Chain A
């Protein structure tokens, strides 16, 4: 049984040094994966995630704590729902998989639920791979893998992933199951949340494909995953098959072009460390030594976003107003550049972006000249603050 690819010891040690002495590596979780999809070009996020740095702790140490957290109500409810879905040896879950994805197969009865316990993520990943191989060989039976562990190579270092469940069909194919606690109301759920779940599941599909590729013959990993949610306002599970081919392709492409963590690590000065325990100026300069690519989308996906936003704003970067803004301004990247070009004080008049800006500035000034006296809030008319 091959273990997840072992990489050069040098890199592992280098990443451990970056993380800080005696600090455990943080696993790449769903949020990190979402951030990966949202902003693949950010080197800062790539190296910090790759080294398993606790970005939330770093953000707090930098004085810009992240605003993420989970309410215990949501946590309790989510766990209770997942337990309910998987109760009875996963009978209900398998029934849903059969109904939504594989109606031609025999209805599941006496499904196998192998024990996947092992020490350490590497051990659990090996145990999962073994269980998958055995289940695939045992044709004609259903197998439910509860919280398997998968390894995926992200930018040259392995990331360990834990899907909610993986089901092996009687025909030997594999399905990823994602259990979420947002409701499916009258058959439809919040598209943003479904999209996030699909992106997450796509990463699991990629990881499963790596496991499958090592088997002979390689079993099929299904590209339709099963999304299980509570039905309407109740706690009863309902499910829907979600096609993740697109998300899988996008994530696969982004993973492939991720700047290799090794390369980023090589550009860092010797002795760089991202430990949250460092004095804040040392930590700040360490974090600043890796370039970031801040965009407002980061705020919902990355713990360091508020820190990066501060920097981005201080530098006057127009991207802090949104990527689309940056797109329409051509080569002008800072607020001052744009405004002085618009005023006609700088910029190449031949540049179409500059011409458009000047026209826009002129039209705007003309429109505002004739406005009513009340159109802006001055300190004097802004009353009503209570």
Chain B
């Protein structure tokens, strides 16, 4: 955390209200996001309890599992989830535009441009918190290896048809969420914490209710008071007034409300199974339905407040103007979405449990590159972020006080103007260190020549001035210009290319060989009680 953010946090403490940590919005927001508020069962891995999901703020779809340990009910839940999520994704796979991509021609080995499809827009799944992102990944893992009756007639407990497909998509979203700056699956707490500094620690910012309380406190109370209320206030029955954003539920809710309701449901189900005649069965079916409705209402009562908070967060974020590079990063998300769509259409198997060495190295390299890209772009888009970089000596801003024309000493002299800049910043400059400024959206490089006075430094501009002897108009800074130079590069170059998976060296396990179809998780009798 930079000192500037720390100051903003302290200012928030003093004023009782969150302070801006950004002047523009640094993440893409879809016009029609799919909000997903899941709940899980404590102590069980991948046993959903229910969810609110949908694209319409006023009409969320409620899904609930009355007995989370029952495999059939779990499959019903997942099938219903697939019915909501997959049509939403499908809507984006069809609308495409033509684009070009560099590919290596398999015959000549040359880089050629290939005409490909790029989805015109991509879906966006929004979850309340970082734990929600992990849960999406977990759900994906639990579903993608399942076999449907159609794929494998022998499979015990076949999954409903679209469940494995949903698992592959959720896995993809979960993986993409690990790429810095991506927006396919953002967590609302991360989005808000990126744009506002609250008067509490980053740890406490993980609580969606408390975070929103600082950013947008109810009239008449300070952020600290409202946050405390969100964290701890309980109703007379001992239940939290602001239920946790999940997927984990509050233990008091589990013990006092949910457990008795599930027990009633189990009893009603046993009673129905032992009913002896029609009228008795009808009565008991009524009891079972009532017990199920009770659990659905409990799930709704714990997810609806979070649902509303996610939309409130979206309102707040939408009020910020877009950052200039947000669209470019979103295009990368669209590429990622399109690529996965193509893999599914091509009939490729689900993502493996473990990546092979080359894929893993590629993923890591991509994340590092995107992190550097994100940091550079955020600074260029947002003076407040740039201020942090200036403070740490990675950038400087100031006024041009003098420009002297000079030329390189080659056979064909090129312009190498010397620019003197007055700055109060303290950049870490060594001899011939390269610095960059943005010129019409492109970086122009200059070399550091030396300090002329304590606040005067001289730079030699080295490129983007055209091919002629005279620099193109507007390509050289002029006296009086206010400029900002950075010591970091604006655009990220890719690292060295990694070998194809088939060429993996033995030091890294050798070629992965033929991809064997991964078996589904074996089912054990303990899965169901």
In the complex, whether A267 has a CB less than 8 A from a CB of chain B is no
CA distance A360 to B476 in the complex (A): 30
In the complex, whether B386 has a CB less than 8 A from a CB of chain A is yes
The proximity string for B residues 2-13 relative to A, scoring 1 for CB distances below 8 Å and 0 otherwise, is: 111011111101
A69-B251, A72-B255, A74-B42 known; A363-B387 Cβ under 8 A: yes
Could you say which of B214-222, B265-273, B332-340 contacts chain A?
Answer: B214-222
Query: Min CB distance, A22 to chain B, in Å?
Result: 27
Query: Min CB distance, A140 to chain B, in Å?
Result: 35
In the complex, whether A70 has a CB less than 8 A from a CB of chain B is yes
B23 pairs with A372, CB closer than 8 A: yes
B20 pairs with A371, CB closer than 8 A: yes
Task: Determine which of A185, A306, A339, A368 lies in contact with B10 in the assembled complex, contact meaning CB atoms within 8 Å.
Answer: A339
A385 pairs with B23, CB closer than 8 A: no
B390 pairs with A363, CB closer than 8 A: yes
Could you say which of A142-150, A204-212, A373-381 contacts chain B?
Answer: A373-381
A185-B45, A235-B524, A339-B10 known; A70-B387 Cβ under 8 A: no
B387 pairs with A67, CB closer than 8 A: no
Interface centre among B18, B200, B386 (most CB of A within 10 A): B200
B204 pairs with A296, CB closer than 8 A: yes
CA distance A185 to B44 in the complex (A): 12
Task: Determine which of A71, A187, A306, A361 lies in contact with B7 in the assembled complex, contact meaning CB atoms within 8 Å.
Answer: A361
B45 pairs with A232, CB closer than 8 A: yes
Query: Min CB distance, B197 to chain A, in Å?
Result: 10
CA distance A186 to B355 in the complex (A): 11
Q: Closest chain A residue to B41 by CB distance?
A: A73
Query: Min CB distance, A12 to chain B, in Å?
Result: 34
In the complex, whether A120 has a CB less than 8 A from a CB of chain B is no
Task: Determine which of B20, B232, B308 lies in contact with A67 in the assembled complex, contact meaning CB atoms within 8 Å.
Answer: B232
Task: Determine which of B3, B42, B232 lies in contact with A306 in the assembled complex, contact meaning CB atoms within 8 Å.
Answer: B232
In the complex, whether A214 has a CB less than 8 A from a CB of chain B is no
Chain A residues with a Cβ under 8 A of chain B? 64-65, 67, 69-78, 84, 181-183, 185-187, 230, 232-236, 296-297, 299-300, 306, 313, 316, 318, 320-322, 324-325, 328-329, 335-336, 338-339, 342, 356-357, 359-361, 363-364, 366-368, 370-372, 374-377, 379, 381-386
A-B contact pairs, 12 of them (CB 8 A): A234-B524, A296-B200, A329-B6, A338-B10, A360-B3, A363-B390, A366-B383, A367-B386, A371-B383, A376-B19, A377-B215, A384-B316
Given contacts A185-B138, A300-B203, A377-B215, 5 further A-B contacts (CB under 8 A): A71-B254, A72-B251, A322-B201, A335-B13, A339-B14
A185 pairs with B320, CB closer than 8 A: no
CA distance A148 to B474 in the complex (A): 80
The proximity string for B residues 233-255 relative to A, scoring 1 for CB distances below 8 Å and 0 otherwise, is: 00000000000000001111011
A386 pairs with B316, CB closer than 8 A: no
A234 pairs with B6, CB closer than 8 A: no
B: interface residue count bin: 35 or more
Query: Min CB distance, B134 to chain A, in Å?
Result: 8
| Complex interface: chain B residues within 8 A of A186 (CB) | 141, 353-354
B201 pairs with A374, CB closer than 8 A: no
B232 pairs with A321, CB closer than 8 A: no
B202 pairs with A322, CB closer than 8 A: yes
Interface centre among B219, B384, B522 (most CB of A within 10 A): B384
| Complex interface: chain A residues within 8 A of B218 (CB) | 385
A328 pairs with B3, CB closer than 8 A: yes
Task: Determine which of B2, B11, B353 lies in contact with A339 in the assembled complex, contact meaning CB atoms within 8 Å.
Answer: B11
Q: Closest chain B residue to A67 by CB distance?
A: B232
Q: Closest chain A residue to B45 by CB distance?
A: A183
Query: Min CB distance, B394 to chain A, in Å?
Result: 13
